[in-house]
Structure 1
Amino acid sequence: MTAAESDAVAAVAIVVPVHNEAALLGGCLAALDAAIAHTRRTHPGVRVVTVVVLDACTDASAQIAASWPVQTLHIDARNVGTARRLGVAAALAALRDVPLGATWIATTDGDSTVPAAWLSHQLDVRAAGVDVVLGTVRPDFADLTVEHAAHWLATHPRGRPAGNVHGANLGLRADVYIAAGEFADLDQHEDVELVRAARAVGARVHATDEAEVVTSGRFWGRTAGGYAAFVRATHERIEREAQG
């Protein structure tokens, strides 16, 4: 890892990959706007750049993003790892005058909504000496059956985060990100691979559920093995158990 480990965060690069999320993107960006406003109160002086990466979008996602104070990047990769990597590169370019050791990268997804304290919590954890923050994600209970929602709550006790890696709720120092080799051009698990590489270069990793992100509870997502596949598999298991 590079130096500047004791530097306070001076800037944040937020990256949101999007592929045809017109139905949910407005809620995602409204939540991010509220989180940024909250962070400006709790961490005055920290610069924030948000990049929305519109990857092969054929719906109204671009028009929705244009109505918010974000930078947009249009690509045609159809690959979430590539989208995250190019988004981070664009955000870091906009913050090129800030040392990497004083820059924080935070990622979420276009089908997700962050809580108001999402970013400020990551910065507080960073101030305690952490290099990578693994936040928890839960499905939107409005998309689930009562039984499925109850199962999720029973198996995810508060204060005991499992330490799973979710690109929808991930933060890390920019110099650690570069040392770890950046997001790979993978169509799934690019977040898991990045954190694995960060651990390999000695990053201090912290799991927390204090700023949990809500993501779509849909069963069929943008990648074959993403969060939607996990939600679907959980639902199918609950259905089988209910049928005896």
Structure 2
Amino acid sequence: MKPRALAVLLPAHNEEKRLPRALEAINVAALHPALRQVRTITVVAADSCEDGTAEAAARANSLVVRVEGRNVGLARSAAARRALEILDGPAGVWFASTDADSVVPADWLGFQYARACEGWDAVVGTVTVTHWPHRRARLAARHQLLYTASRPLYGPWRHPHVHGANLGVSAQAYAAVGGFPPLPVSEDRSLVAALSAGNHRVLRTAECPVATSGRLHPRAADGFGDHLAALAVKAGPRP
């Protein structure tokens, strides 16, 4: 499939401070030369926000859909629905999902577009933590060891991870499996599992990772941030 449009989906709960950097990176990625003839939009789902998240999104020329639920699956789904309303249905549309505390590389959308043109139905990427909390060297080392445990010495790494911060999917394949379920956690894993079960072509790749937050007090419970917090306990006191 050669996409005619790309829609970036981004859920956010009280992310007024972090969101501008995330959106700036997305806007840069949308300028990739391969996308000159491709329509690109960003939809921010402002979920139960009590700060200026929605206003920050609007200032960055993003579309905003407001939801109330404190539910990341519900928020991603709402962003996807709004994108399809704007883009007149799923045919030829590619969804690229990321998070408000993440920064995508400049070639992120170009990379996903290229994989879509190759015929993949979904791209499941990795993340890197670039800024750890102060004096957390043990945590960083433990995370890296566990995260890359399955990586082979040679050849591509078909990793086992799923991150809503670095995920792409054809809107048609997305619709065929029912989209993001309204789950407060693991909505991304559920979507990828459904795609795999439906025999869609899913590429797991460590190319083009997304930088994400190392914060230990995340917005969503039981997600990546809570995983890091649990690792911090196991890693022991700060060195």
Pair in the same fold by TM > 0.5: yes
Instruction: Report deviation, 1:88.
Output: 0.2
Question: Partner residue of 1:138?
Answer: 128
Alignment correspondent of 2:40? 48
For the 8 Å contact 1:51–1:71, the answer to whether it is kept is yes
Aligned to 1:195: 192
Indicate which of 94, 114, 129 corresponds to 2:119: 129
| Contact map agreement 1:139 1:231 (CA 8 A) in 2 | no
Shift of 1:165: 1.0
Please tell me whether the aligned partners of residues 134 and 163 of structure 1 are also in contact (alpha carbons under 8 angstroms): no
Q: Which residue of 2 aligns with 1:213?
A: 210
Aligned to 2:140: 149
Structure 1 gap ranges (5+): 1-6
- Structure 2 match to 1:3: none
1:225 aligns to what? 222
Counting matched residue pairs gives 232
Residues 170 and 200 of structure 1, relative CA distance in 2, 3 Å threshold? same
CA distance in 2, matches of 1:231, 1:27: 22
- 3-state SS in 2 of match to 1:168: coil
Residue 65 in structure 1 maps to residue 57 in structure 2 = yes
SS at match of 1:210: coil
RMSD over equivalenced CA pairs, Å: 2.0
Q: Match for 2:16: what amino acid?
A: A
Deviation of 1:161 after TM superposition, in Å, equals 5.0
Q: Which consecutive aligned stretches of 4+ in structure 1 deviate over 4 angstroms post-superposition? A: none
Map 1:1-244 → 2, pairs under 5 A:
7-38=1-32, 41-96=33-88, 100-143=90-133, 145-155=136-146, 156=148, 160-239=157-236
- Cα-to-partner distance string for 1:50-81 (whole Å, 9 max, x where unaligned): 10111111012122112111111111121111
Gaps of 5+ in 2: none
SS in 2 for 1:233: helix
CA distance in 2 between counterparts of 1:147 and 1:233 reads 13
Cα contact 2:126–2:163 (8 A) shared by 1? yes
CA distance in 2, matches of 1:10, 1:152: 38
Q: 1:105 to 1:60 in 2, by over 3 A?
A: same
- TM-score normalised by length of structure 1: 0.88
Percent of aligned positions that are identical = 36
How far has the Cα of 1:146 moved from its partner?
2.2
* Rounded Cα–Cα distance in structure 1 between residues aligned with 2:128 and 2:234: 17
Amino acid in the other structure paired with 1:133? V
Q: Distance in 2 between matches of 1:163 and 1:123?
A: 22
| 1:9 partner SS | coil
CA contact (8 A) 2:143 2:228 kept: no
Query: Which moves more between the two structures, 52-61 or 155-164?
Result: 155-164
